[in-house]
Structure 1
Amino acid sequence: MASQEVAVSMDKPVVVDATDHIAGRLCSKVAKLLLNGNRVSIVNCEKIMLSGTRDNIIYHYRKFLEVNSVIHPRHGPVHARRPDTIMTRMVRGMLPKKKPSGLMAHKRLRTYIGSPRELSAFEKIQFKEAKITKSPANYTTIGEISKIIGWTE
């Protein structure tokens, strides 16, 4: 579980254990790995931390969920409520939108709730720069926020 700059071969996937990582910093590291051509799997997405006060995070996410189509809400933007799909969207936002490199990089990303059995054989890495620095009580997990906004396990 050592922090390291990842320089692995393209045929072997990079498995990132996201426990106690700050969401934005983790997404930027993963986006860089994807743009370099690696296949990346993020496990334990429900344990990723969001910085800021809990009430403020919930308020802003609920305001985000109110955005929909004027014509018909079913046609409007679909908002993710599961931790793994939230992380997929966050990483997608850090990739180039119109370039083929960004589209291909996004296809190489996999996110998981928990740690699946098929990835247990791979070495899981963590990024030292993305780990939380204060007590976990100062952060809110994406799993907690997801449950509040409507995720049912």
Structure 2
Amino acid sequence: MYCLAKQETVIRTDRPIVVDATDHIAGRLASNVAKLLINGNRVSVVNCEKIMMSGTRSNQIKEYREFLEINSVINPKHGPVHYRRPDTLMAKMIRQMLPYDRKPSGKEAHQRLRTYIGSPKEIKSLEKIQFEKAKIKKTASNYTSIGELCRTIGWTE
């Protein structure tokens, strides 16, 4: 397993950069992946269900349930889309850190992103990287995994 330490820029390659997201904080991971995408790399994020969100389990569930109540008065189709799968939740989080609605380069960068639950066969042989600055520092009991959160709000595997 390769870890990126001080200088977190990776040279642009034709092969996708595979990021093993196990025990990474969600926001920090999303910002590092967004930076790689803006630089023109293809990025695959594996093990999205093992990404951690800081905060207690009950607080995270309460906040996401409040978010699920937001919709349009006229038609629910007009309100925000509420994702319940860990891979789509992470893809949306990364998309929000790209200039997706403002520039064509943001939309192209988002198209180079792939997120997966677990690790698919075609990616298992590739070298995986991790971001040292995005890894959790305290014990895992201080965090909530995205998989656990998604199971509570309606994700069925």
Task: Report the TM-score when normalising by structure 2.
Answer: 0.94
User: 1:105 pairs with 101, 109, 112, which one?
Assistant: 109
Secondary structure in 2 matching 1:95: coil
Write the deviation string for residues 74-97 of structure 1: whole angstroms up to 9, x where unpaired: 443221000000000000000013
| Equivalent of 2:126 in 110, 118, 122 | 122
Aligned to 1:64: 67
Compare 74-83 and 90-99 and name the one that shifted more: 74-83
Change (3 A) 1:134 1:7: same
Deviation larger for 76-85 or 14-23: 76-85
Offset at 1:10?
3.0
Give ranges in structure 2 of 5+ residues lacking alignment. Answer: none
Q: CA deviation at 1:33?
A: 0.1
What TM-score does the superposition give when structure 1 sets the normalisation length?
A: 0.96
Aligned length: 153
Separation in structure 1 between the aligned mates of residue 29 and residue 103 of structure 2, nearest angstrom: 22
CA contact (8 A) 2:65 2:153 kept: yes
Residue segments in structure 1 that go unaligned for 5+ positions in a row: none
Q: Does 1:83 align with 2:86?
A: yes
Residue of 11, 15, 21 corresponding to 2:18: 15
1:11-68 CA-partner distances (Å, limit 9, x unpaired): 1100000000000000000000000000000000000000011111111100101111
Q: How far has the Cα of 1:6 moved from its partner? A: 4.3
Contact 2:85 2:155 in 1 (8 A): yes
Partner of 2:135: 131
The offset of 1:118, in angstroms, is 0.4
Given residue 130 of structure 1, which amino acid in structure 2 is its aligned partner?
A
Pick from 51, 56, 59 the counterpart of residue 53 of structure 1: 56
Q: Residue 2 of structure 1 corresponds to which residue in structure 2?
A: 2
Identity %: 67
